[in-house]
Structure 1
Amino acid sequence: MPRLFVALRPPPAIREVLFDTMDGVPAARWQDDEQLHLTLRFIGDVDRPVAEDVAAALAAIHTAAPVVALGGVGRFARRGRTEALWAAVTPHDALAHLHRKVDQACVRAGLDPERRAYLPHITLARLPRSLGEERPVEAWLARAASLASAPFALPHLILYHSALGRGGAVYEPIARWPLGTS
C-alpha cells in the first residue's frame, strides 16, 4: 500500500541556501537533499487503484507555477517540545490556491478533504523526543530568523511515495506534472 504526498521541490540554489542554515541543534535529524520539499497535501496509505485515481486527478490540474521566496524560520511544537524546524515560504496566496486545487483533485479521487490549516513551509529538521534542552533550538531560531531569498518558481507538481525506515523517511517522486507560467 503506497504512502503518498503531493509537493513542490525548491530549485538547487534554494536548497543550498537552506543547507547553510542546517546546524547548531544537537540530535536534530537534518533533511538531506532528496527530502527538501514543500508539501501541498499529505495523502497517506492508499490502495494502488486509489493512488492511480489520485495521479489522474492531479494530472488534470492546470495553474501557474507559484513564485515564492524564503522568508524566515519557525518550529512545530507540541506540549512545549519542538518537533520540527522549518523555513517559511511566502507569499501564501499562490500556494494556498494550489493547495486547494490539489485537495479538490484528491477529493475527486475519493479521499476525504484536508481538515488541517495549510501553512506553507519546508521542513529542515526533525527533533527527537529525548532532546530535552530547548536552548539550542531557541539559539537556532534567532540565528536563522533572517533567512531570505530572491523569488523563485516552483514549476512542477510532484506525487511522492514515502517509505518509513530506521533512518527516517525516504521520498521517491513517482509522477511529475509541469505547472504553467504566469
Structure 2
Amino acid sequence: MIRAFIAVEIDQPNKEKLLKLVSDLKKSNADVKWVTENQMHLTLKFLGNIEEGHVEQISGALKSIADNFNAFSINLTRVGAFPDLKRPRVIWIGIDKGAGELKTLGAKIETELEKLGFAKEKREFKAHLTLGRVRSLKNIENLEKIINEVKFQAGNEIKIDKIILFQSKLTPKGAIYTNLSEHPINDL
C-alpha cells in the first residue's frame, strides 16, 4: 500500500514568494506546522492508501484527462483559514483567476476515479494552497492580526500544464513526496 494524491505544481518564483509569506506568518509564534518548499502544490484529490497495482490505472485515467484538457493559468490571492480565522485548522492562500478551471479539472478527476472505485469527495472543491496546519490556538490572535495585515503579491500567473500523481511517505520530519507519474496538459 502507498499513500497517494493528485496535484498540480507551483513554479519556483511563486514558491519563493510563498516562503517569504510563510516567514512573515511565522512571526506570530502561533502553533502551526508550516509547509516546506517541496510541499507547496495544489491538491486536486487525496487518494489515501492505494494498492501499488492501482498506480497504472490511475495514471491512465490522468493521461486521458490531461490529453483532453487545455492548459490554463491561475493567480494566488488572499490568505485565509478553514473553517475561519477565529478557529483555524488550516491556513491557506486562495486562488482567483483560474479557480473555475481548477474546479473543472478536479471534477473530471473525481468522475474518472469514481469509475475506478474511488469514493467521490463529499465536500465541495475549494481551490487553495495549504500554507500550514494549526496544532493549537496558542498565539492565534497574533496570527490573525498578521494575516489581516499581510498583502501577498503573487508573481506572474502560474501556468497549470501538467497533472501529477504523488506518493506521500510520512516521516517524523514531515511528508516526503515522490512523483509517480506526470501528465502534460494540452497547450493549445
In the TM superposition, what is the alpha-carbon distance from 1:134 to its structure 2 partner? Answer: 1.4
Counterpart of 1:166, as a letter, is P
Q: Is structure 2 residue 73 aligned with structure 1 residue 67? A: yes
Q: Is structure 2 residue 10 aligned with structure 1 residue 10? A: yes
Q: Do the aligned residues in 1 keep the contact of 2:76 with 2:96 (CA within 8 Å)?
A: yes
Secondary structure of the residue that 1:51 maps to in structure 2? helix
Note the residue ranges of structure 2 that are not aligned, 5 or more in a row: none
Q: Do the aligned residues in 2 keep the contact of 1:5 with 1:44 (CA within 8 Å)?
A: yes
Q: Do the aligned residues in 2 keep the contact of 1:159 with 1:175 (CA within 8 Å)?
A: yes
1:48 is matched with 52
Q: Do the aligned residues in 2 keep the contact of 1:4 with 1:159 (CA within 8 Å)?
A: yes
Note the residue ranges of structure 1 that are not aligned, 5 or more in a row: none
More divergent stretch after superposition (31-40 vs 150-159): 150-159
In the TM superposition, what is the alpha-carbon distance from 1:29 to its structure 2 partner? Answer: 2.2
Q: Is structure 2 residue 115 aligned with structure 1 residue 112? A: no
2:168 is matched with 162
Counterpart of 1:74, as a letter, is G
Secondary structure of the residue that 1:67 maps to in structure 2? strand
- Computed over aligned residues only, the root mean square deviation of the Cα atoms, in angstroms, reads 1.9
2:28 is matched with 25
Q: Do the aligned residues in 1 keep the contact of 2:92 with 2:129 (CA within 8 Å)?
A: yes
Q: Do the aligned residues in 2 keep the contact of 1:50 with 1:110 (CA within 8 Å)?
A: no
Counterpart of 1:51, as a letter, is V
Counterpart of 1:109, as a letter, is L
1:93 is matched with 100
Q: Do the aligned residues in 2 keep the contact of 1:11 with 1:154 (CA within 8 Å)?
A: no
Share of identical aligned residues, percent?
Answer: 26
Q: Do the aligned residues in 2 keep the contact of 1:57 with 1:108 (CA within 8 Å)?
A: no
Q: Deviations over 1:35-70 (max 9, x none)?
A: 000011111111122233212211111211221101
Secondary structure of the residue that 1:20 maps to in structure 2? helix
Q: Is structure 2 residue 148 aligned with structure 1 residue 142? A: yes
Counterpart of 2:141, as a letter, is R
Give TM-score, length-normalised by structure 1. Answer: 0.90
Secondary structure of the residue that 1:22 maps to in structure 2? helix
- The structure-2 alpha-carbon separation of the partners of 1:161 and 1:25, relative to structure 1 and needing over 3 Å to count, comes to farther
Distance 2:138 2:82 in 1: 15
Distance 1:8 1:102 in 2: 12
1:178 is matched with 184
In the TM superposition, what is the alpha-carbon distance from 1:158 to its structure 2 partner? Answer: 0.5
Counterpart of 1:13, as a letter, is P
Secondary structure of the residue that 1:132 maps to in structure 2? coil
Q: Is structure 2 residue 39 aligned with structure 1 residue 35? A: yes
Aligned length: 181
